[in-house]
Amino acid sequence: MMIVPLWFEFSALGILAIIMAADLVIASRRPRVPSVAESAIWIAFYVGLAIVFGVVLVAWGFPDKAVQFVTGWATEYSLSIDNLFVFVVILARFAVPALLQQRLLMVGIVIALVLRGIFIFVGAVLVSNFSWIFYIFGAFLIYTAIAQLRSSANEELDQDGRIMRFFKRWFRMSGTFDRARLRTRIDGRIVFTPVLVVVAVIGVTDLLFALDSIPAIFGITSDGFVLLTTNIFALMGLRQLYFLLGALVDRLPYLTYGVAAILAFIGLKLVFASLHDNTVPFVNGGRGVRWAPVIGTVESLVVILGLLLLAIVASLVGLRVTRPRSVD
């Protein structure tokens, strides 16, 4: 397998950093709610950009890296979409004004990027020094998939309510927003606005999803460059995707099940791979379990895309069946 040269890696990461910085500047200088059509165009642009990047990898002689990138990007993007569904609930729960949502979303995306970068570094160190860590990664993903199936929107709202009560207990809080200010003055006293609570909730949410996404991507590749680029591309265009999902959140009820199935599949893949190359003394006497199947990257890509497509089709079909018919 050929190694991607450093100049290629730094050039690609530099271009991606410029694109994300430009998106941040646009969001801060033009705080407005994009239309559905505008959001769809930007999402198509970012998805097309990811596809072009995969084609470039193939053209430069790295087809294996390209398959790993597309598979990892599809996985991380599906997890990011699930993250956005939670953002929709959070921002609606705290009645965040529409013009303020865009800035808070960018804060959430930046936090997610930083956390994933840290977790990728930590995960790479663990993987290179402790091969048995894949057992833990796999078990954690399977547990997360089961927990996600059991969770509900009401539980999310109740958790947000507990966080709000915590902040009201320890901080002087205002009940209203003052644009994007973290603090404001009421009756001569400086108090915190709900922006503090929303940012805290988004940060905790990003942390939880980073804990899911990093083991998932390590189930596909351990290449540091591919790990970084898949996460950056997955986070691109989330601001526009959020406003599009706002109109689709009730139309894709089975997407969460699809994401849970993807997490469970990658978790099983990690466990099988660990069993096949086992070196843990108390498992099969420290020898590899040869009957454990080894699932390749191409097969993983087919399964992940298939699960996503199945969840979307099931949601659309279910919506059509349950939609009340008009009476003539």
- At 4-42, the pLDDT tens digits run 788 888 888 888 888 888 877 776 676 666 777 777 888
Q: Is the model's pTM score more than 0.85?
A: no
| Percent of the chain topping pLDDT 70 | 85
pLDDT attached to residue 327: 46
pLDDT band at 202 (very low <50, low <70, confident <90, very high): confident
Lookup result for tokens 């430069």: 60
Angle value at C-alpha 312, between 256 and 66, nearest 5 degrees: 90
| Percent of the chain topping pLDDT 90 | 4
Residue pair 260/148 in contact by the 8 Å Cβ criterion: yes
Find all residues with CB under 8 Å of 209, minimum gap 6, and list them: 79, 80, 82, 83, 86, 112
Residue pair 198/88 in contact by the 8 Å Cβ criterion: no
**Total number of residues shown for the chain:** 328
Q: What is the b/e burial string over 99-138, where b = at least 16 CB atoms within 10 angstroms of the residue's CB?
A: ebbbbbbbbbbebbbebbbebbeebbebeeeeeebbbebb
Instruction: List the structure tokens of 244.
Output: 């599009």
Q: Read off φ and ψ for residue 12, nearest 5 degrees.
A: -65, -45
Question: For the chain, how many helices (H) and strands (E)?
Answer: 11, 2
Q: Any bridge partners for residue 185, and if so which?
A: 190
Task: Give residue-wise pLDDT tens across range 91-121.
Answer: 777 777 777 777 777 777 788 778 888 888 8
Q: Report the candidate in 325, 37, 87 with the shortest Cα–Cα distance to residue 209.
A: 87
Q: What is the mean pLDDT of residues 30-55?
A: 82
The domain ranges of the chain are 6-320
* DSSP per-residue codes, 98-109: HHHHHHHHHHHH
Please state which of the ranges 21-25, 148-152, 153-157 shows the lowest mean pLDDT. Answer: 153-157
First to last CA, the chain: 65
Most confident stretch, 174-178, 269-273, 275-279: 269-273
SS3 (DSSP) at 5:
coil
Instruction: Report how far residue 127's alpha carbon sits from residue 273's, in angstroms, rounded to the nearest whole number.
Output: 13
Most confident stretch, 42-56, 246-260, 304-318: 42-56
Measured torsion, CA atoms of residues 10, 305, 302, 276, in degrees rounded to the nearest 10: 70
Residue 1 has pLDDT above 80, yes or no: no
Residue 162 has pLDDT above 60, yes or no: yes
CA distances from 123 to 17, 211, 316 (A): 22, 10, 37
